[in-house]
Amino acid sequence: MLRFTRLVLKDFGPFKGRQELPFSDRNGVTFIVGQNGRGKTTLFNAFRYALIGKIYGRSGRERRDLTELANVETARTQGYPSFKVHLDFTYGGSEYSIQRILSPAGPDNQPTVQALLTRDGRPLSQEAIEPTLSKIIPESIHQFFLFDSEHLAKYEALLDDSSDAGDRLRSAIERILGVPILRNAEADLEALEDEISQAVAAQTQSDEEGSRLQAEIQNLRDQIKAEEDSLQQLDEEIDEYEERLSEVERMMSDFERSRNLLVQRDAENRRRDGLIVSISESLERYRRSAAEAWNIALASAVESPVADRQAEREELQRRVTRAQIERELLRDLDQHPELCPTCEQSLDPALSQHLRDQVAATNAETFGALERRLSEIGKELDSLAGAAPDPSRAALLRDREAELARLRSEKLDCDQTIEDLNRQLRNVSETEVRRLAESLRNYSRLLDNKREQRAALEEGLAEHRQTRAELTGRAARLPGADPSLSARHGLVRKLVRLMGQSIDEYRSRLRAEVQSQATKLFLLMRHETEYDALQINDQYGLNILHSDGSTVSGRSSGEEQVVAFSLMGALQNSAAVQGPIVVDMPFGRLDDEHKRQIIAALPEMSDQIILLAFEGEFDAHQARNDLGAQLVAERSLNRQSSRHTEIGEVR
């Protein structure tokens, strides 16, 4: 089992000068936390570079110009780029130390990388370095140890039977689980069977049957050889197309963001068109409501005259009442001049006349004027009432106005978004995106075609091998045949069949084991309690099973991440090759509860987990509590300058 003991960097990326990162010999989790730009991905790349000698960019493409990885400040000071990545680890009971050093070399002082590997303190030859490292952690499976969460999407491809990315990942999964051991054994035994078959055919007697068998075996051998060559050629072509497809996929991945922006801009343009129609309709509604409620504009102008008229009318009505009383008084005096109309006591005739004259004079004048004025006020109030706003129409108009304002504001937002998207898309070639998509389709079609040819060829090959085996068996039993060759042929034939059968059973067993281990981890990490288990397919893709027995479709990004983590842990637990897991940017798409549960489940995935996260990505206090003694170290990446980070110790 592989275990890291120490990483030393010198002038690698922002890690200026010599910096050391020792790892605890206790099982558990190491946190390495830093803000964006502090060098987490560089640190992740340092592990990969030490072990497989390659650096990959965010797009998944290998970086060829390693001088870019040298610390800029040091390179400026000394006048040339240089760096060192040094990883100490244990494996199979031995202590290893790999150093990869970039420094000027040769007559031109060109930057050159030199690798040094020691085992138990003894240096290995240059030729032995990469094969030795490859045996410890083959490149094809390094992704299960050095896990970049940014590339999670490829795990979803395992659910798609026709996906080329899924095919490649499935091969890598089978590699980590050890399937090629059996496949190689089967292939080597088949080659040996062919050799024995040739030897048997060569030693048959020259009688009629012997000669016939010899000729048939030789024909079959030639045919099998031709088919094997064709198969090899097809495999090479498939590898080449897969490589090209992979390159196109990587380029597409670079364009992925642009493609998303294009999709987003198209959607925003459609939204904008819809808003323009809605605004036009809303404006028409507003105009109609405004025409029906024009008098709202007069509301304040009408309010005051109405109040004045109403007050005047009240006053006039009071005076009319008084005039009416006076008129009745006059009538009473006319009828009974000797009596006071109020107290009905006798009244002096002269005084009575005086009273009648006075009341008659004022009443005749006032009552008429009052009646006229009251009539005028009535008309004025009627006229003003016609101009007063209708409250329901006013409310409707206000609603229309608000709707129009809202739509106009949405359109402004939309215009702004489209402007932003156009700015981001300024340097993107839509033609190039379309060209890549076309290449992707072409290579996929070619690959499908080659794979069909391969399947047909393999079928024919299997039949011919079977016939060759039967003929060889018959030839080996002919009189005079070498019994040891016959025994060897019989044994090798059985071994070939045994290996073929073992491959099928081992694959089936592995799928069950990976499913069981992944489900165990998934149940620790998921927080949707209605999700019961994971179910594996032939490609090692994992479906989530709901408690009602159905498969969960349309998984969220967070769920996808939890499933990928479960698969990682399951592969580690079921693998023929085991080691530490280094995870870069683990929590990007997860909510707090998932983060907490994943952190708590980390120790179940591997004995040594190194987690690279940015500050604030998870609740460190909570994580300390949840992990307890299984949190073996905490490091921080501290900014000294924009080009200089120091590795610090938190605890």
Partner 1 sequence: MKSEPTDDLSDTVEQVRSREFTEVPAELIATIISVERDHIDGDRIAARRAIRRVIEGHTSNAEEGR
Residues that bind partner 1 (CB under 8 A): 27, 131, 134-135, 138, 178, 180-182, 184-185, 188-189, 191-192, 195, 484, 487-488, 491-492, 494-495, 497-499, 501-502, 505-506, 509-510, 513, 517, 569, 572-576, 578, 603-607
Q: Parallel, antiparallel, or unpaired: how do β-strands 28-34 and 608-614 relate?
A: parallel
Q: Which long-range contacts (CB under 8 A, 24 or more apart) does 106-111 make?
A: 109/80, 111/66, 111/67, 111/70, 111/80, 111/81, 111/82
Q: What are phi and psi of 253, to 5 degrees?
A: -65, -35
Question: Judged by CB, which is closer to partner 1: 191, or 276?
Answer: 191
CB of 2 to partner 1, least distance (A): 13
What is the spatial distance between Cα 259 and Cα 262, in angstroms, rounded to a whole number?
5
In DSSP terms, which residues pair with 94 in a beta bridge?
Answer: 91
CB of 613 to partner 1, least distance (A): 21
What is the spatial distance between Cα 450 and Cα 241, in angstroms, rounded to a whole number?
9
Question: Judged by CB, which is closer to partner 1: 72, or 136?
Answer: 136
Question: Judged by CB, which is closer to partner 1: 400, or 488?
Answer: 488
CB of 521 to partner 1, least distance (A): 10
Question: Judged by CB, which is closer to partner 1: 384, or 461?
Answer: 461
CB of 495 to partner 1, least distance (A): 7
Question: Judged by CB, which is closer to partner 1: 141, or 397?
Answer: 141
Query: What is the three-state SS of 526-561?
Result: CCCCCEEEEEECCCCCEEEEECCCCECCCCCHHHHH
Question: Judged by CB, which is closer to partner 1: 37, or 180?
Answer: 180
Name the residue type at position 318: R
CB of 135 to partner 1, least distance (A): 6
Residue 28, classed as helix, strand or coil, is strand
CB of 156 to partner 1, least distance (A): 25
CB of 26 to partner 1, least distance (A): 11
Question: Judged by CB, which is closer to partner 1: 101, or 199?
Answer: 199
Question: Judged by CB, which is closer to partner 1: 90, or 453?
Answer: 90
Place of tokens 């992740």: 44
- CB-count burial class (<10 Å; 0-12, 13-18, 19+) for 217: buried
What is the spatial distance between Cα 84 and Cα 115, in angstroms, rounded to a whole number?
10
What is the spatial distance between Cα 145 and Cα 4, in angstroms, rounded to a whole number?
12
What DSSP line would sit under 438-481, residue for residue? HHHHHHHHHHHHHHHHHHHHHHHHHHHHHHHHHHHHHHHTSTT-
CB of 104 to partner 1, least distance (A): 33
User: What is the distance, to the nearest Å, from the Cα of residue 105 to the centroid of all Cα atoms in its chain?
Assistant: 43
What is the spatial distance between Cα 580 and Cα 546, in angstroms, rounded to a whole number?
32
CB of 240 to partner 1, least distance (A): 19
Sign of CA dihedral 522, 523, 524, 527: positive
Question: Judged by CB, which is closer to partner 1: 169, or 330?
Answer: 169
What is the spatial distance between Cα 133 and Cα 92, in angstroms, rounded to a whole number?
12
CB of 623 to partner 1, least distance (A): 18
Question: Judged by CB, which is closer to partner 1: 165, or 496?
Answer: 496
CB of 618 to partner 1, least distance (A): 21
HSE-CB of 317 using CA atoms within 13 angstroms: 8
Question: Judged by CB, which is closer to partner 1: 33, or 514?
Answer: 514
Q: Do the Cβ atoms of 517 and 523 come closer than 8 Å?
A: no
Q: Do the Cβ atoms of 386 and 278 come closer than 8 Å?
A: no
Residue 94, classed as helix, strand or coil, is strand
Task: Give the residue from 567, 621, 572 showing the smallest Cα distance to 595.
Answer: 621
Question: Judged by CB, which is closer to partner 1: 21, or 633?
Answer: 633
CB of 185 to partner 1, least distance (A): 5
Question: Judged by CB, which is closer to partner 1: 67, or 184?
Answer: 184
Sign of CA dihedral 487, 488, 490, 491: positive
What is the spatial distance between Cα 401 and Cα 395, in angstroms, rounded to a whole number?
10
CB of 451 to partner 1, least distance (A): 22
Q: Do the Cβ atoms of 29 and 632 come closer than 8 Å?
A: yes
